Structures are given as C-alpha cells and as structure tokens.
C-alpha cells in the first residue's frame, strides 16, 4: 500500500468530524477514573465504543485490558500481512482532584492526573478513523488498551503474554504520552534511550520504642531513619558514574509514634531510577548494605524490599525517524520538535523488548502558562490536543503499513 497524498487531509477532516465525540469520551473517562487493577467500568466503556464503531475486540485481557483489530480491506497484496500496534494506558492515580473542572472526577481520591484518559480517547478516535478508512489500506492495525501502567509489575507484560504482539506478530508498536511542558499542537520525539528504569523501595527500620523523655532506654528508629535517608544519597552522589543518570528519592516516611512516644519502627518508601541495567542492580545491593550498616551501627535493624519495576524505554532509531518524518507530513515542520530523555518510567518499555517500538510526547500545555506537571492534582490538559492526537495516531499507523 502506498499512502495517497490526500490521506493526511482526509484523516484531518475525519478527526475534526469526530472531535466532539472524542472529547466527550475523554470527559467521561476523566469523570469516572479507576485505579490500576480496578479498571472494570473503564474497560466496559471502551468496549461499548468499539461496538459502536463495529470494531472487533477481545476483552478481559491481562485483567481489564482490551485488544481490538482493524483489518484493511484494500484490494492489494502490498502490506496485507503487516501489523502495527497502537497502545494507550487506561488506569488512573490515587489523587484527590480539586473541584472546579466542569467534568471533575466523581470518584473521591482517584484522578486521571497522568493523561491516560486522553491517551484512551485518542486511541478510540484513531480506531474510529481507521475503521472508516479500512477500504483504503491493507494490513492490520491492532489497538491495545492496557491496564495497570501505574502499578508495578504493570499491565504491559500481561498484555504481551496474552498475545498482544503475536498471532500474527506486529512489526511496530507506537505509543504517546501527554507532556504539559510541551505546548498543545506539538509532538516530540527522541531516538534511543528515552525513559529510565524504575524500582520501588520499601524499608522498615526497627528499633525499640518507649517514652520520649527517656531516649537512653530506647533505640530510636526515627533518628536511625534520618541518618539512613542522608546516607543512602551516597549511592547516587558517590557510587554512580557521574555520566550515568541516577535518582534515589524517598517520598513517604511513616513514624507512627506521638509527640512524646518513640515508635518501635519506621517505614520509608522511595524510588530508584537509572539508565544502566548493570549499575541498576549494583545500586540495589548498595542500598541493602548501607541500610543494614547504618541501622546496625545504631543498635537497630532493617528490612529492605526492592521491587524491580520497568526497564528503560528505548525508542528504536529507524522506527522513530520514520514516525518523526510522518508526523511532519501530518502536522507540518512547526508541529514536531525534539525532546531530551527523562527520568520518568513506563511499562511501555516491555513492548520495545519484543518489537520495534516508539514512544513520543503529545503537547497538552497551555502556551504562556506555568502548567502543572503530571501526577499533580493541579494537572490540566488542553482538550484541543485530542483530535490531532487521534488523527496523528491514525496516520502513523497507515504509514507503518505502507
């Protein structure tokens, strides 16, 4: 199949024709977010839209995942055996959304603060466009609505094990992620290393609690924890190669005593991210060793639980350059920019271990505004990004089949 010079304009017309419906899909998903492993209603809603578009799908994949396929019907042998996959994640975060948005979350303590509602709406919009155009292309476009991206071990592995990339095998996997630092109307690509690996760290510091007025009779796990938090930073500042990006951050400390009570134990939770797999596991051992040494030197003990998470996201260079060129064809030169790699993490990485994969950024920021980051209760996205996002996904899929 060769892409007609009229296809980009036709896709843009369809994207605008369906824009109101696609935005309405996003608003519904935003109002009714569900956490990882709990996306039951979200999956049911997605299946309902696929039914409306007469797109064949398989549900309950890896829990609440949905795999849909659109078969091209063009009467040509070229590209007929090719398969490309488009992926969106569907879960939300345990964040309380503040009031004020017209379609604010209706579920207390749960919010689409990472843009997965936009990813899913854009993929449904792309599916509708491709289904409309199915007589104009050959090959297969597979739509992957993936659950549980926000929770290790992630839903990507389960989707892959359930055949998301096989029978027949896909030639490429394409995903997008919102970026509030990028103005709406733009997308950004980066070839090669794009996102870091991530591991979750859970440490329990044990001492001997008692009255705060008699610290000499106790082994204070709070003070041990204070030393531990400082000491563990040496893993990054003194053990990591300065040319290898590494981050060790602790965001939760629970010392459940009282103003005059020293507790028996303290729990801390954090994240370790890096770009080098060999160093990654060396760092794990250092975290365990330093934690044990500091606690032991102060009379306490520790339990260190490191839960290995997602590997690095690697954008396959030749695929990335093809998609960048196709994006320029669709959006124009001004709509496509480069973006540096980041220490975010994504289970999209697993798809890239099985097939050529590319993960790019979708601009959702308001120009001239200090846009709140993802994973923030203040995160907002410009809805004008949704129709172009759906159209671009459609065009990238067709160019990959050509």
Q: Would you give the DSSP letter of residue 334?
A: G
CB atoms within 10 A of CB 373: 12
**DSSP line for 34-55:** -BTT--HHHHHHHHHHHHHTT-
Q: What are 116's two structure tokens?
A: 């997965």
Name the catalytic one among 39, 89, 91, 276: 91
CA 153 → CA 128, 196, 347, 348, 350, distances in Å?
Answer: 31, 15, 8, 12, 11
Total length of the chain: 402
The H or E element that residue 350 is part of is helix 349-352
277 is catalytic: no
Do residues 177 and 389 touch, judged by C-beta distance below 8 A?
A: no
**DSSP line for 165-178:** TTTTTPSEEEEEEE
CA dist 50 and 70 (Å) reads: 11
Task: For Cα atoms 264, 269, 272, give the angle at the middle one, nearest 5 degrees.
Answer: 140
CA dist 141 and 83 (Å) reads: 6
What are residue 178's DSSP bridge partners?
A: 362
Beta strand 356-365 with 172-183: parallel, antiparallel or unpaired?
Answer: parallel
The three-state DSSP-derived secondary structure of 17-35 is HCHHHHHHHHHHHHHCCCE
Number of H helices and E strands in the chain, helices first, is 11, 16
Positive or negative: CA dihedral 212, 215, 220, 224: positive
Name the catalytic one among 89, 149, 199, 347: 149
The three-state DSSP-derived secondary structure of 125-143 is HHHHHHHHCHHHCCCEEEE
- Non-local CB neighbours of 33 within 8 Å, separated by 6+ positions: 42, 92, 93, 105, 107, 110, 111, 112, 117
Active site (catalytic) residues: 91, 149
């Amino acid at each position: 199949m060769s892409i007609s010079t009229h296809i980009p304009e036709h896709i843009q017309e369809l994207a605008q024709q369906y824009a109101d419906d696609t935005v309405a899909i996003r608003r519904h998903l935003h109002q009714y977010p569900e956490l990882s492993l709990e996306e039951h209603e979200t999956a049911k809603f997605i299946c309902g839209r696929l039914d409306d578009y007469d797109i064949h799908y398989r549900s309950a994949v890896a829990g609440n995942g949905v795999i849909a396929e659109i078969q091209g019907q063009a009467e040509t042998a070229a590209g007929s055996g090719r398969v490309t996959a488009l992926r969106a994640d569907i879960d939300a975060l345990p964040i309380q959304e503040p009031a004020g948005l017209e379609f604010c979350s209706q579920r207390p303590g749960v919010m689409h603060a990472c843009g997965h509602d936009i990813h899913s709406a854009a993929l449904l919009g792309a599916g509708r466009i491709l289904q409309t155009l199915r007589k104009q292309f050959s090959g297969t476009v597979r739509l992957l609505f993936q659950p549980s991206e926000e929770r290790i071990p992630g839903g990507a592995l389960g989707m892959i094990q359930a055949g998301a990339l096989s029978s027949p095998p896909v030639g490429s996997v394409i995903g997008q992620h919102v970026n509030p630092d990028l103005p709406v109307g733009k997308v950004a690509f980066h070839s090669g290393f794009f996102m870091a690996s991530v591991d979750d760290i859970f440490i329990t510091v044990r001492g001997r609690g008692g009255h705060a007025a008699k610290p000499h009779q106790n082994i204070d796990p709070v003070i041990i924890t204070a030393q531990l938090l400082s000491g563990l930073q040496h893993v990054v500042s003194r053990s990591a190669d300065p040319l290898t990006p590494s981050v060790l951050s602790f965001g939760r400390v629970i010392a459940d005593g009282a103003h005059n009570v020293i507790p028996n134990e303290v729990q801390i939770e954090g994240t370790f991210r890096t770009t080098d797999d060999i160093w990654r596991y060396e760092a794990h051992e250092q975290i365990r060793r330093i934690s044990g040494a500091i606690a032991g030197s102060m009379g306490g003990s520790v339990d260190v639980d490191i839960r290995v998470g997602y590997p690095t996201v690697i954008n396959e260079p030749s695929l990335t350059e093809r998609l960048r060129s196709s994006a320029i064809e669709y959006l124009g030169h001004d709509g496509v920019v480069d973006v540096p790699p980041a220490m975010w993490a994504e289970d999209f990485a697993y798809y890239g271990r099985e097939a050529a994969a590319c993960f790019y950024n979708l601009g959702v920021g308001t120009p001239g505004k200090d846009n709140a980051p993802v994973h923030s209760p203040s995160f907002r996205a410009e809805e004008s990004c949704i129709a172009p996002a759906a159209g671009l996904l459609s065009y990238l899929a067709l160019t990959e089949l050509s």
